[in-house]
Amino acid sequence: MVIELILGGARSGKSRYTQQRAILLASDKDCQVVYVATAQKTDSEMASRIERHQQDRPATWQVEEVPLALGEWFQQAEQLPEQVILVDCLTLWLNNQLYHFPKQNFEALFEQLIKQLVASKHHILLVANEVGLGVIPIGEVSRRFVDLAGWLNQAMATSADSVTFIVAGLPMPLKESL
């Protein structure tokens, strides 16, 4: 089990970097890549973003759409042979959770997901947005989202074997224990 967390802002190059990393790892391990997509087509702009991601990734990858039940999906994925699993992205998964289940215990949700990730036999690449570098947003829901995203990223970084921050397409290693 290896967990790599790749963080960055919007259009930082984090997805491209992570896809390249997945291709390299799958080649080295002689295994397949499973791409776990968390985005949902909520409007035409999001549909365009999803389409761009679909065009950018290899057609040979297995794609799983998991907008909400990520922990449960990882529990079921333990039945698969060892794979490279790329989750893009944790921030959209969090957004989906906040939209559908705003009153849930997010700390418990994060702990449950991390428990599943740490128990996994797969090499896991997690993409997440660093949303807390800008101004404090106007509106209670937006501030709550930024806070939850920060806490999720901190919890993932603590459990991850490596953490890389992408800025302008350039990887900056923050934690290396591979």
Active site (catalytic) residues: 53
Phi-psi region of 47 (alpha: psi -120 to 50; beta: other; left: phi over 0): alpha
Per-residue tokens: 139:
């509106």
Amino acid at 102: P
Q: Could you give the angle at the alpha carbon of 149 between the alpha carbons of 138 and 62, nearest 5°?
A: 130
- Alpha-carbon span 166 to 171, nearest angstrom: 5
Q: How many helices (H) and strands (E) does the chain have?
A: 6, 7
d(CA 82, CA 31): 7
Contact 131, 146 (CB under 8 A): yes
Half-sphere exposure of 3 (CA within 13 A, CB side): 20
- Nearest Cα to 141, choosing from 102, 86, 92? 102
